[in-house]
């Protein structure tokens, strides 16, 4: 049996085309020839070694299969994890929406906690080194209320800017009126960003916003982001994994997860007994954030 620290699950980049990939044939052939399998090993020195559990289909192919067949694929993935004695499965962030229904059967890590920990680290570092006028968080931030509430302790005004501000009205209202936090909510307004602002971009944000005026600290934490930690990304690249934050985040979150911190509750659903601050503190203890922070 392999002695591994983590497992990563992904699909191929593009959907397979042709007659046999149409739904009728795919439902019948997939359980026979397109099953999940260990493709290759991945090593992240200082953090751990793992494997890539690969399903040789594209995201569209996967969703085109009958729900029962998809369930069989995930059951086989769970069997592989049990054989490897691995309890959590790091998953390509692009598959979050498609695989979320199986989170009751499998302990799936999409890197959400890691990305919040990284955002917090960038903000904390900026405030310690510079005079920060405002913290601006742009993009999709579902489930990030704990990050926002923690960042308010820095006593710097916070601006949430998204394509759909209405989705964040309740969260903003609670932090503003119940917690007394200096926080606002609006559409994305790059024309109003000024010297001294720290801008953190999450998924759902166009890369065009990366061209900002001097004096604005801009950090992109979207799925496609690369070159945040070139040394770590190089290890993924050597292992045949696309070296983007969408793959790096779930893998590193799995490596930083304290043993025994994810336990099933009475309803057999996963109960996350840790927060992004747990990930952030463990990363700090292991010197991980030095890979991401500016050396100058």
Beta bridge partners of 138: 161, 201
Within 165-238, where are the H helices? Answer: 169-173, 230-238
| 227/192 Cα distance (integer angstroms) | 27
Quote the pLDDT of residue 26: 83
| 20 contacts 210 by C-beta, under 8 angstroms | no
Q: Is the pLDDT of residue 31 over 70?
A: yes
Q: What is the pTM of this model?
A: 0.89
Average pLDDT taken over every residue of the chain: 85
pLDDT confidence of 259, banded at 50, 70, 90?
Answer: low
Least reliable range by pLDDT among 46-50, 66-70, 143-147, 266-270: 266-270
Q: Looking at residues 55-75, what average pLDDT do you find?
A: 87
Domains, the chain, ranges and CATH? 6-110 (no CATH), 112-296 (3.40.50)
pLDDT confidence of 185, banded at 50, 70, 90?
Answer: very high
| 237 contacts 173 by C-beta, under 8 angstroms | no
């Amino acid at each position: 049996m392999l002695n591994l620290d983590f497992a990563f699950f992904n699909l191929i980049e593009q959907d397979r085309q042709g007659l046999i990939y149409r739904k009728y044939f795919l439902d019948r052939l997939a359980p026979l020839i397109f099953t999940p399998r260990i493709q290759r090993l991945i090593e992240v020195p200082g953090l751990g070694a793992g494997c890539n559990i690969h399903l040789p289909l594209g995201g569209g192919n996967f969703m085109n299969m009958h729900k029962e067949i998809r369930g069989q694929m995930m059951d086989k993935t769970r069997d592989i994890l049990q054989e490897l004695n691995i309890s959590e499965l790091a998953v390509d962030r692009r598959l979050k929406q498609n695989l979320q229904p199986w989170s009751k059967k499998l302990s799936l890590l999409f890197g959400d906690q890691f990305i919040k920990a990284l955002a917090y680290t960038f903000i904390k570092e900026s405030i310690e080194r510079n005079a920060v006028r405002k913290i601006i968080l742009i993009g999709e931030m579902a489930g990030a209320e704990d990050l926002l509430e923690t960042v308010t302790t820095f006593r710097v005004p916070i601006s949430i800017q998204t394509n759909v501000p209405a989705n964040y009205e309740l969260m903003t209202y609670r932090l503003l009126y119940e917690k007394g936090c200096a926080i606002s909510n609006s559409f994305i307004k790059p024309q109003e960003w000024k010297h001294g602002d720290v801008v953190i971009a999450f998924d759902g944000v166009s890369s065009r916003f990366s061209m900002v005026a001097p004096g604005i600290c801009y950090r992109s934490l979207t799925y496609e982001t690369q070159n945040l930690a070139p040394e770590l990304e190089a290890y993924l690249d050597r292992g045949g994994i696309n070296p983007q934050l969408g793959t790096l985040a779930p893998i590193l979150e799995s490596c930083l997860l304290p043993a025994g911190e994810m336990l099933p509750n009475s309803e057999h659903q996963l109960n996350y007994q840790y927060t992004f601050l747990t990930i952030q503190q463990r990363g700090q203890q292991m010197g991980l954030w030095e890979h991401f922070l500016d050396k100058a």
